[in-house]
Amino acid sequence: MVGSKALGGAERWFVRFGNALAERGAPAELAIRAGSQLDRVDLSHLAVHRLPFLTVWDPISRAAVSRLIGRLKPDIVQTYMGRATRLTRLRRGGPIHIARLGGYYKLHPYRRAHAWIGNTKGLCDWLVANGLPADRVFHIYNFADPPRPVATDTLAAIRRELGLPMDAWVLMTPGRFVSFKGHRYLLEAMARLPAAIDGRPVCLVLLGAGVLGQRLRTQALHAGVAGRVIWAGWRTEPGPFYQLADLVVFPSLEEEPMGNVILEAWSWSKPLVTTLFRGAREIARHGEDAWCVPCADAKALAQGVEYVLRDPALGTALAVRGHQRCRDEFGRESIMNQYLDLYRHLAGG
């Protein structure tokens, strides 16, 4: 269950995870917020229930959650984010409530759960340090979907839509326009980069939307890079934009907990320049599978981007090694095996 109104990385993971459960033949059903952006995604192949999820406390939503659980009688109820977790009240002896966390949230809403899943080791250590029982906190990483390349003419159509020159270096950054994603420093870095590298223009495609959108557009204009920044908007399917990219740039700040973009770049075999936020420090290896720079440092970010673009052999090596790690350590089958083994363990087999 997830009660989010907006559609972001956590909600995209929710869909990927639901699809993966269905592919494994797990008897799973999803509950989402009626009328949310997630409700506009095609989920017709999944068993989906639409609940109010109006606030974190309202009795109407709590009653709807209780009725659904009472009717389905599941072995396990897994909740995402604070809203769905707060509205789920399960007594011991009934279904097992697993709260899955992808961030360093206030823990009060989550303490009623019976077990907890964190998507990084650092997050799990933090959960235990803040009083959750170590024997009920479990670490399982996210996975990235295998790439589904689109046809050449589809990519050409996207290039025309965006106005991308055929010879451009395409830097691509996906993510909501919120402060901890670090777009401010990325635009500062663009202002420091040359307009062309090795005779090819440098363009930045921003894939996302959010509350800081207008502020970022104003910044790009004042920095003199508005002509080199392409605002592609929010896309429910970012795959073709990874396919277009010559380099994926991930400028998040320390608050970023995991960073699915890292796994997605690796899945698509794309070289990656990332800041060293806490999730990246745990999974990325500088110079091996990513080029890592400090957070909130536009100069270092610009230098990293230019360095990788000017060294094609380095970019290829980063992409190859990243893809290998995505396949071996963060593969869909491996991660889903860990989830299903945990469910069996918690439900007594």
Q: What string of DSSP letters covers 261-317?
A: HHHHHHHTT--EEEE--HHHHHH--BTTTBEEE-TT-HHHHHHHHHHHHT-HHHHHH
pLDDT > 70? residue 349: no
pLDDT at 62: 95
pLDDT at 8: 82
pLDDT at 67: 96
pLDDT at 75: 95
Number of Cβ within 10 Å of residue 114's Cβ equals: 18
Average pLDDT, the chain: 95
Amino acid at 235: R
pLDDT > 70? residue 347: yes
Give the mean model confidence (pLDDT) for residues 197-207.
98
Cα 322 to Cα 111, 296, 300, distances in angstroms: 36, 24, 21
pLDDT classification of 181: cutoffs 50, 70, 90: very high
**Which domains can be identified in the chain, with CATH numbers?**
9-143+331-346 (3.40.50.2000), 152-329 (3.40.50.2000)
What's the whole-model pTM score?
0.92
pLDDT at 193: 98
Pick the range with the lowest mean pLDDT from 77-86, 87-96, 109-118, 259-268. Answer: 87-96
Three-class SS of residue 30? strand
pLDDT at 116: 98
| Tens-place pLDDT, residues 105-159 | 999 989 999 999 999 999 999 999 999 999 999 999 999 889 999 999 999 999 9
pLDDT at 331: 93
* Burial class of residue 275, CB neighbours in 10 A (0-12, 13-18, 19+): buried
pLDDT at 341: 97
Q: Whole-angstrom Cα distance, residue 337 to residue 227?
A: 46
pLDDT classification of 336: cutoffs 50, 70, 90: very high
Give the mean model confidence (pLDDT) for residues 57-74.
95
Q: Whole-angstrom Cα distance, residue 103 to residue 120?
A: 9
pLDDT at 183: 98
pLDDT > 70? residue 285: yes
Q: What percent of the chain has pLDDT over 70?
A: 100
Hey, what are 346's tokens?
């918690």
pLDDT at 19: 94
Q: Whole-angstrom Cα distance, residue 126 to residue 119?
A: 12
Q: Of 254, 248, 228, 242, whose CA–CA distance to 291 is shortest? A: 248
